[in-house]
């Protein structure tokens, strides 16, 4: 049986769900946020230590400005209204990505949320926000060159947004799309991949539990076959 320590999720399909059910992409984003709490609860039950959620990519800036503003407002409200509850449940929040390029109000809320939950140990939720794996790798190499140290696997790891975070054991992508979309390309080298047809708002706790149980039965091989 494989223990699960780190689950990564590409929460794809919110916009499509919103257009289909409510004639509004934003309604899909709001609905999708409800699923996050369900996944967090299951991770706590199973003693999973890391959960990484792909929330907003560097490519998402190409979306309409109204949709981007709605997404940021949704996250701001989540941090304002839910941070105390997360803290009480001993959950640590960590944001990975180019946070310095985000709106000032959101940056302040992120900083406060990370500070408030910094000593919590039950589960670390990594929010990939304004995140792109290619730029992450480029930034890592730049930091290595600046420090004038050797370019090797160990030093690249140390200078990623995910430094001190173990690589994901499994990746789930909803939305019936079978690609990584510039998400954790370095970290997913030996991760088991699960592609789910359901759109993210339709992905329920039972779906999550089924995938976790499938993972436990996989014979994992590391390195060349």
- What does the block give as tokens for 80? 């304002």
Residues 6+ apart with CB under 8 A from 101: 130
Q: What is the three-class DSSP state of 170?
A: strand
Specify whether 169 is catalytic: no
- Kindly tell me the sign of the dihedral angle through the C-alpha atoms of 157, 116, 8, 167: positive
Residue 47 to residue 26: CA distance in whole angstroms: 32
Residue 225 to residue 194: CA distance in whole angstroms: 20
- Distances, alpha carbon 202 to alpha carbons 44, 91, 160, 180, in Å: 21, 25, 32, 20
Which letter does DSSP use for residue 118 in this model? T
Catalytic, out of 60, 112, 139, 182: 60
Strands 123-131 and 91-96, sheet pairing: parallel
Strands 170-173 and 192-195, sheet pairing: parallel
Q: Among candidates 197, 63, 75, which has minimal Cα distance to 128?
A: 75
Specify whether 12 is catalytic: yes
List active site positions. 12, 60
């Amino acid at each position: 049986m494989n223990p699960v320590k780190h689950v990564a999720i590409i929460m794809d399909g919110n916009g499509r769900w919103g257009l289909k059910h409510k004639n509004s992409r934003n309604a899909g984003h709001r609905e999708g946020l409800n699923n996050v709490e369900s996944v967090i609860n299951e991770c706590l039950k199973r003693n999973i230590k890391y959960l990484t959620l792909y929330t907003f990519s560097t490519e998402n800036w190409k979306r309409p400005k109204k949709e981007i503003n709605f997404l940021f407002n949704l996250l701001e409200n989540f941090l304002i209204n839910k941070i105390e509850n997360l803290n009480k449940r001993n959950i640590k929040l960590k944001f990975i990505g180019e946070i310095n390029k985000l709106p000032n109000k959101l940056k302040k809320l992120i900083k406060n949320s990370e500070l408030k939950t910094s000593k919590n140990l039950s589960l670390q939720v990594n929010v990939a926000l304004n995140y792109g794996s290619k730029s992450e790798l480029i930034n890592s190499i730049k930091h290595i060159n600046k420090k004038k140290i050797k370019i090797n696997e160990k030093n690249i790891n140390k200078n990623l947004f995910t430094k001190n975070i173990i690589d994901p054991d499994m990746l789930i992508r909803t939305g019936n799309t079978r690609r990584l979309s510039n998400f954790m390309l370095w970290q997913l080298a030996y991760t088991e991949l699960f592609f789910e047809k359901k759109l993210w708002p339709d992905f329920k706790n039972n779906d999550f539990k089924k995938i976790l149980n499938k993972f436990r039965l996989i014979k994992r091989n590391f390195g060349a076959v």
